[in-house]
Amino acid sequence: MQCNKKWTISAWDYEVAIAPGVGGSLRGLFWQGSPVLRTARTDHILDAACFPIVPFCNRIADSRFEVAGVSYRLSSNFPDAYHPHALHGYGWVRPWQVIDHDMSSIRMVHGYSDGEWPWHYRAEQTLELGAKGVMMRLEVTNLGPGRMPAGLGFHPYFPGDGSTVFRGLHRYEWQTAPDGLPLTLVDAGDAVDWWKGAAVTTRMVDTIQEGRQGVLTVLRPADDLLIEMTPCPALSCTGVYVAQDAEFFCIEPLTHPTDAINRTPGRMTWLAEGETLAASLLIRAQNSLFGID
């Protein structure tokens, strides 16, 4: 099948390896031969360099929610294990199909009409390489009657070490329970660097930050690499996960916070039949010696 094939696109000093059949995931992203994201060592989705998040972001508490007076219960969608909270939607655990590609771009689709999510949808993901970096676009369209709550996001993984610094200015950060569900929204009073310039591995977190100002940057002195991520305005939230073993960390631009369908349904986008939600993320790399202008 076409979706089981692995693809590589390359241009403007960038190279991206894609596995459509593995959740439409990136298996690697390189700039001048240097890995910008972690590089997948296996074909498992949890070993990905990045995967798309659709049609909802992060966790749905206890996999339960109610819409228009109807209660729904979703099964665990976590690969190879039980997870009490439905997580990251369904795009990352379903195969995608390539519908268009050339040397510097690829377009994939994923359709959902046969599962527990109560709405049918079509998702499309596009990657384009250019002089400004790697442009990733994601959209979802409600194919059925009734308004569908929708969210989108990108889930990049970065290799972690004691010198890597993440800088993203945010005014708010959610304190979370051990299972990642939100407890309290902390207000810093202004958009600040919650790491205060320290290495990203000095804070073990699984949180959502809001009130972002400017771009998101990752500085890797050991690789002489500075990575800049520019989310579109629709991606108003930033998920941050730093693993306990510090082997990797994730910076996830998202359209809504955790469990929004239950806690703040107005933060989701409610799509009528035929309506589409779209989002984009630009990833750019440069030698850290020169910085990013």
Residue 293 lies in a domain: no
Q: Domain range holding 77?
A: 2-287
Residue 97 included in any domain: yes
Among 7, 2, 4, residue whose Cα is nearest residue 21? 4
Q: Tell me the pLDDT of the chain (293 aa) as tens digits.
A: 455 788 999 999 999 999 999 999 999 999 999 999 999 999 999 999 999 999 999 999 999 999 999 999 999 999 988 999 999 999 999 999 999 999 999 999 999 998 889 999 999 999 999 999 999 999 999 999 999 999 999 999 999 888 999 999 999 999 999 999 999 999 999 999 999 999 999 999 999 999 999 999 999 999 999 999 999 999 999 999 998 777 899 999 999 999 999 999 999 999 999 999 999 999 999 998 755 44
For residue 245, being part of any structural domain is answered with yes
Q: Does a structural domain hold residue 90?
A: yes
Write the CATH number for 126: 2.70.98.10
Asked if residue 67 is part of any domain, the answer here is yes
pTM of the model: 0.96
Q: What residues contact residue 265 under an 8 Å CB cut-off, 6+ apart?
A: 149
Q: How far apart are CA 206 and CA 241, in angstroms?
A: 4
Residue 292 forms part of a structural domain: no
User: Do residues 252 and 238 lie in contact, with contact meaning Cβ atoms separated by under 8 Å?
Assistant: yes
* Domains: count for the chain: 1
